[in-house]
Structure 1
Amino acid sequence: MVTTTARIRTPLTDLTGVRHPIVQTGMGWVAGARLVSATAEAGGLGILASATMSLEELEKAIIDVKSRTRNPFGVNLRADASDAVERSQLLIDQGVRVASFALAPKKDLISRLKDHGIVVMPSIGAARHAEKVAAWGADMVMIQGGEGGGHTGAVPTTLLLPSVLDAVDIPVVAGGGFYDGRGLAAALAYGAAGIGMGTRFLLTSDSAVPQSIKEQYLTFGLDGTVVTRKADGMPHRLLRTEYVENLESDGLAHRIIGTARRTIAFKKMSDMTWRQLLVDGRQMKSASDRSWSQMTQAANTPMLLKAGLVEGDTSAGMLASGQVVGLINSLPTCDEVVTTIVDDAHRQLTHATSRISPT
């Protein structure tokens, strides 16, 4: 294991108990027990992605992480899931340190988790969303600028981050476009409590993504991603593969047929009943203001991502990615990633402050 003598203490490290202010985000099909435990062992905050897991699978994954590391980690939950309360109770029962959310959890759910010592960290895409969850008691928030992979917004990190920092008094973790020590130093200079990274952790030797797929990621440049609504009706940043290019040009009828087929496949994989799917769909629609057409398309996402990120079939699946993929050219361990970033950030900050003359 690589070791570092540098240590950067922030509200993120104080709240969660991790050694370094670096978060590995909860990427569906990617952030499993292996990657999360490797991140935790490296001193960062690993976040287990649960949206593609059943409740039983999530319990097994949490136990698996705990068998691999004694360090703190987190779990990403869907606040609009029909079994969100049961999943939250599982985190309480298992002593998970952090609960992150892709959509804003309700006030009573935040209180329930906080009452049991769990740090609550929703992901938000606008200052007004941060203000809402802060008023409800969230401990900190993570922002994702438009450079980030997967579902994303249009505002870049350099503008979204200061707008959120000005809006709330709770710690803010910056995500979208980070991969090295310069990024961590810059985020800390803005006033962030740390950085969140997805693509950088996906592209490590500890990631369970097929090796051939990871090597394919490394061939893309800064122009290698595209934001499309054709996958599930919401802006989604993906690698510009042949499949995605075809998806962009597909007609409505072809997309509807594909959506229906993948909805059936997701139902079978998740062991959910049609009633549960409908309830989840209604709650997701209410939480996100999507149209029913968009909600129908949303069933595409889990199966399309699984085909690419798990099965390695880019002809039938898509690959979520941040724009930062164009700056990554290696597949180090999580420990090497975290150590290198912290050491470099420490040097960058030391060098920057050494150039300031006393008044």
Structure 2
Amino acid sequence: MSGPAFRTALTDLTGARHPLVQTGMGWVAGPRLVSATAAAGALGILGSATMTTGQLRNAVREVRGRTDQPFGVNLRADAGDARERVRIIVDEGVKVASFALAPSRELIAELKDAGVVVIPSVGARRHAEKVAAWGADAVLVQGGEGGGHTGDVATSVLLPQVVDAVGIPVIAAGGFRDGRGLVAALALGAAGIAMGTRFLLTSDSTVPDAVKARYLAADVRDITVTTAVDGLPHRMLRSELVAGLERAGRPAALLRAVRHAASFREVSGVSWARMVRDGLALRRGKDLTWSQVLLAANTPMMLKSALVDGDPRGGVMAAGQVAGVINDLPSCQELVDRIMAEASRTLERLRPSA
């Protein structure tokens, strides 16, 4: 196990040995991946949006049983049970809370009062400014290269814009996979980098082998942004299913969304009443139409079909553009060691010769 190559505001804030974050991917970032990431010296983040509250508590305890290194939990700030999940984080002594949407000022204060580090994820400067003003400890900013729901501004443009706008540590996401990317992000003012697809494509990830093979076979032209899945821009692998969804049109998509909402309710244990409340919050938070809110019910179950059930034909595969240049499945320890060693070599190469 390698020692820290360098110290940043991110390592100081979280206690992780390296300025690397594994993002809280739903269905993917479970106890096995998170504990392997944390043990390797990076900051692993549990993806709790697809867990019940009971499953979340059990997952936190499982990670704690596997490693004594710091880790975090990712929450949906607009979820009806967000406060209950915050209480679990506080009760269980989790080091970091990250958020897929901007948390309220009150949630940030509650977590900070309990000594939890708060790191919201944002895709625009104005959102970073808002959460910084509300007391967030750091912010994770994802450029358009990132997988899943994404924007249209490249990381290389968005990152320095946010760094210049806020006085808290900024973590860069979207397009990172190696030590060269880490050095580039640090040069642009980041305190570290966050990676989803790169950690998904490790031997510690529970994503089925057949689906990992689809990712590894992709090149950069095989990764697209579509609104056909849930009405929002969503970066994923091209597939027969995605093409079919784009051809099907809105009425068929809405009918499918109702079916998937029922399936997700059964898997998650969430009541219809809570799903409606969450939908209302999502509509307000993202200024969506009711059609788009209904389509958003597609996402969890369509991701589960591929990432858990191993059916790439029946599900969708969220992917950053970086998937097109990843061709191996190292362990988390091998990946982290490799990134940090390459970062050190890159810095050495950039150092002026005497």
Where in structure 2 are the equivalents of 1:188-337 lying within 5 Å? 188-337=186-335
Paired position in structure 1 for 2:68 = 70
Cα distance in 1 for partners of 2:87, 2:282 equals 21
Deviation at 1:251, TM superposition (A): 2.1
Higher deviation after alignment, 182-191 or 285-294: 285-294
Cα distance in 1 for partners of 2:128, 2:254 equals 35
Deviation at 1:351, TM superposition (A): 1.7
Where in structure 2 are the equivalents of 1:8-47 lying within 5 Å? 8-47=6-45
Deviation at 1:187, TM superposition (A): 0.5
- Gapped regions of structure 2 (runs ≥ 5): none
Cα distance in 2 for partners of 1:184, 1:272 equals 39
Cα distance in 2 for partners of 1:267, 1:6 equals 43
For 1:104, the aligned partner's letter is A
Paired position in structure 1 for 2:5 = 7
Kept in 2, the 8 Å contact 1:6–1:346? The answer is no
Paired position in structure 1 for 2:155 = 157
1:53 and 2:51 are equivalent in the alignment:
yes
SS in 1 for 2:301: helix
Cα distance in 2 for partners of 1:152, 1:144 equals 7
Cα distance in 2 for partners of 1:105, 1:216 equals 35
With normalisation by structure 1, the TM-score equals 0.97
SS in 1 for 2:78: coil
Higher deviation after alignment, 328-337 or 253-262: 253-262
SS in 1 for 2:314: coil
Cα distance in 2 for partners of 1:81, 1:219 equals 36
Deviation at 1:6, TM superposition (A): 4.9
Residue deviations 1:286-345, cap 9 Å, x none?
111111110000000000000010001122110000010111000000001111001110
Could you list the structure 1 runs, at least 4 aligned residues long, displaced by more than 4 angstroms after superposition.
none
Residue deviations 1:129-170, cap 9 Å, x none?
111000000000001110010000000000000100110010
Where in structure 2 are the equivalents of 1:104-143 lying within 5 Å? 104-143=102-141
For 2:291, the aligned partner's letter is S
Cα distance in 2 for partners of 1:59, 1:127 equals 33
Cα distance in 1 for partners of 2:298, 2:3 equals 45
Deviation at 1:199, TM superposition (A): 0.4
SS in 2 for 1:354: coil
Kept in 1, the 8 Å contact 2:148–2:318? The answer is yes
Deviation at 1:102, TM superposition (A): 0.7
Cα distance in 2 for partners of 1:334, 1:37 equals 10
For 2:313, the aligned partner's letter is S
Residue deviations 1:58-104, cap 9 Å, x none?
01110110010000000000111111111001100000000000100
Cα distance in 2 for partners of 1:332, 1:193 equals 24
- Gapped regions of structure 1 (runs ≥ 5): none
Cα distance in 1 for partners of 2:250, 2:78 equals 28
The alignment-based identity, stated in percent, is: 57
Cα distance in 1 for partners of 2:254, 2:184 equals 44
Cα distance in 1 for partners of 2:250, 2:134 equals 40
Deviation at 1:4, TM superposition (A): 2.3
Cα distance in 2 for partners of 1:208, 1:280 equals 28
For 2:49, the aligned partner's letter is A
Deviation at 1:204, TM superposition (A): 0.2
Kept in 1, the 8 Å contact 2:118–2:136? The answer is yes
Kept in 2, the 8 Å contact 1:6–1:343? The answer is no
How has the CA–CA distance of structure 1 residues 278 and 6 changed in structure 2, closer, same or farther, with 3 Å as cutoff?
Answer: closer
Kept in 1, the 8 Å contact 2:4–2:17? The answer is no
SS in 1 for 2:351: helix
Paired positions, count? 354
Cα distance in 2 for partners of 1:113, 1:256 equals 37
